[in-house]
Structure 1
Amino acid sequence: MSTDEIDLGNPRWYLATRLRDMVQHRWSAEVRAIGVHGSMAHGDDSDQSDINLVVVTYRQGAGPRAALRRVDGILVDLSVVTGDDGLRRARELTPRWPLEADRYLTVRDLYDPRGWFGQQRDGHLAKLAETRPGEFSGLARRNWCIASAAHARAVRLAEWYETDAALVLMAEARLHAAMVAGLLSRTYFRNRADAVKRTGLAGADMTELGAVLKSQAEELTARGRPVDGPLNALFD
């Protein structure tokens, strides 16, 4: 991205360019690329948005340290990764893929002379293309187990009138159920709020969420990844 394409009247972009310049000045020989992901990369950031800045280095331990703090009233989430490690992660799928993919696929570079962010995106897309459905179903089953356990504990706590604790567990159950839906449909989300909203789980009560989990369990079974089974199935 050239300086001419950056809206310096936007306080988040102005701060992001200042951060870029400082990083380049202090670690000029160590930095391979700098970019932003999240709402700024999507072009719909607002006054409530933070800055998700990623610094890519040539070697481990070089460059700035990861940090999370407010700067001039704006929350800055600074992550640091080596080029090789970042490309490796982009070619790995985890149970949190629905929340991780966006940072691989949607990045606006502030400094990227060798096209590292394009390599990251292409690597991730290549991994998705070669991944068989069973791998996504296996990752989804893990999220289902977490969602189901959280939902069961929330129900029990509600029966004991531990409402606040039950609400916390319900939020966890909704999020992991949303990630199940994302993995089964190969859909990724912008963030946790986007995940529960787009899957229709944001306002699901205990009964509704229980029905969703039951339906997901049936779909996982149909895909060859049942959520329950004999002891030797633990190692499948």
Structure 2
Amino acid sequence: MVGVQDEIDFTSPRGRLATRLSDVIERRWPAEVQAIGVHGSLAHGDDHDGSDVNLTVLTYRAGAGPRPALRKVDGILVDLRVTTADECLRRVRELTPRWPLEAERFVTTRPLHDPRGLFARHRDAHLGRLAEARPHEFSSLARHDWEVASAAHSRAVRLAEYYDTDAALVMMADARLHAALVTGLLSRTYFRNPADAVKRTGVAGADVQELGKILDAQAEDLTARGCPVDGTLRDLFE
């Protein structure tokens, strides 16, 4: 698991912008907004020039409050996500094949405005869901990512044979990411972003042959865990 800072650095340009955004949202939608939080580099205390401001707004009802947005403000990219508190609670208790990339937001969001302690409650709900999840549940999700990684890897091999290098590189990037998600799910490790995922799992520099061997090893691991990656037509519907 990845730790966060005790305090957000509000002296940085990103910290000051997050504060301004929170203040504006509170003033414009006081009856609609329940909580405002920040995650990503600001929550970890390692933001720098080029970092984004990742803001989550929890509302009482769908369609209320500010609209979700992704755009630059004063040269800083702002990723503004808006959802209801109830919908967010549902999501934090849902495990998906992208869990290694989603969990960081559930666990590390820091409140800018949260009088009811919703972000802490959602974090605890997510951790509780992880505690009750059975190993086979994570293995099944990992198998989904393995299938995506294997398909992308096969396409990359075929494209390389036809000297379509650019397209092959795109497929390899997709294959590396999903192979990293397999590792994250099987080890219950979450990552801060896709780049962090491929770097920490050691697949960032894997070429076609190396990645093929990694996928073969993952397939063996999944089979040993009761989730073989290949099977009969009957297996598809069980």
Q: What TM-score comes out, normalization by structure 1 length?
A: 0.97
Work out the CA distance in 2 between the residues paired with 1:102 and 1:7.
Answer: 19
Shift of 1:235: 1.6
Q: CA RMSD in A?
A: 0.8
Equivalent residue in structure 1 for 2:55, among 47, 53, 56? 53
Equivalent residue in structure 1 for 2:87, among 65, 85, 88? 85
Equivalent residue in structure 1 for 2:24, among 16, 22, 25? 22
Q: Hey, what does 1:110 align to over in structure 2? A: 112
Q: Hey, what does 1:72 align to over in structure 2? A: 74
Deviations 1:63-111 (A, max 9, x none): 0010000000000000001000001100000000000000000011100
- In the alignment, is the contact (CA less than 8 A) between 2:8 and 2:45 conserved in 1? no
Q: Following superposition of structure 1 onto structure 2, how do residues 162-201 of structure 1 map, counting pairs within 5 Å?
A: 162-201=164-203
Shift of 1:122: 0.3
Aligned pairs, number: 232
Gap regions ≥5 residues in structure 1: none
- In the alignment, is the contact (CA less than 8 A) between 2:37 and 2:113 conserved in 1? yes
Gap regions ≥5 residues in structure 2: 1-6
Give the secondary structure class of the aligned counterpart of 1:208: helix
Deviations 1:21-57 (A, max 9, x none): 1101110001000010111111111111000000000
Work out the CA distance in 2 between the residues paired with 1:186 and 1:6.
Answer: 27
Work out the CA distance in 2 between the residues paired with 1:39 and 1:6.
Answer: 10
Give the secondary structure class of the aligned counterpart of 2:55: strand
Deviations 1:193-214 (A, max 9, x none): 0000000000000000000000
Shift of 1:7: 3.8
Work out the CA distance in 1 between the residues paired with 2:11 and 2:134.
Answer: 46
Q: Hey, what does 2:4 align to over in structure 1? A: none
- In the alignment, is the contact (CA less than 8 A) between 2:8 and 2:42 conserved in 1? no
Identity of aligned residues (%): 71
Work out the CA distance in 2 between the residues paired with 1:188 and 1:220.
Answer: 19
Give the secondary structure class of the aligned counterpart of 2:47: coil
Shift of 1:148: 0.2
Shift of 1:232: 1.0
Counterpart amino acid of 1:130? E
Give the secondary structure class of the aligned counterpart of 1:59: coil
Give the secondary structure class of the aligned counterpart of 2:205: coil
